[in-house]
Amino acid sequence: MPVFPLSESVIFQCDVCHQGGFVNATTLRNHVRAMHSDERPFVCEYCPASYASCMSLTAHRSRKHNVNKAGEFVPRKLFPCATCGKVLTARSKLLKHIKVRECTRSTIFSSIRFYMSISFVK
Ligand SMILES: [Zn+2]
Ligand SMILES: [Zn+2]
Ligand SMILES: [Zn+2]
């Protein structure tokens, strides 16, 4: 390995991926734990994903499975557009949808076609 110019300080290097530049043993340990360790005690109940920290698992759960911190299933709210009937999955998306005037003729037309296919709605 090349000698680092910072001769005074010891540069820690990861044994696994040989990434260097860790300023101390703790930083290196955190890196190993996060990147290479099998130590992932936080396992998702819904899929094989596992995480080294509780926070990451909670984030994964809510993102992937709509489950909150307490492990309760939170049904994803749907936000239908009043103008064209397009259904958005988030309020922010609906607001953006309205803002950028995504409600074009084609969207309206396709949603009418959709309603026509399920029932005769004028
Ligand atoms: Zn590494
Ligand atoms: Zn999962
Ligand atoms: Zn719309």
Closest-lying ligand to the alpha carbon of 43?
2
Q: Determine the length of the chain.
A: 122
The encoded tokens of residue 43 equal: 């396992």
| Residues having C-beta closer than 5 Å to ion ligand 2 | 44, 46-47, 49, 64
Amino acid (1-letter code) at residue 16: V
The encoded tokens of residue 84 equal: 């064209």
CA 16 – ligand 2 centroid, Å: 27
Q: What is the pTM of this model?
A: 0.39
Q: What is the per-residue pLDDT across 84-108, written as a single tens digit (0 to 9) for each? A: 888 888 888 888 888 876 665 555 5
**Residues 44/53, Cβ–Cβ less than 8 Å:** no
Q: What is the per-residue pLDDT across 10-60, written as a single tens digit (0 to 9) for each? A: 689 998 899 998 989 999 998 888 888 777 888 998 899 988 888 899 999
- Sign of the C-alpha dihedral, residues 16, 17, 23, 27? negative
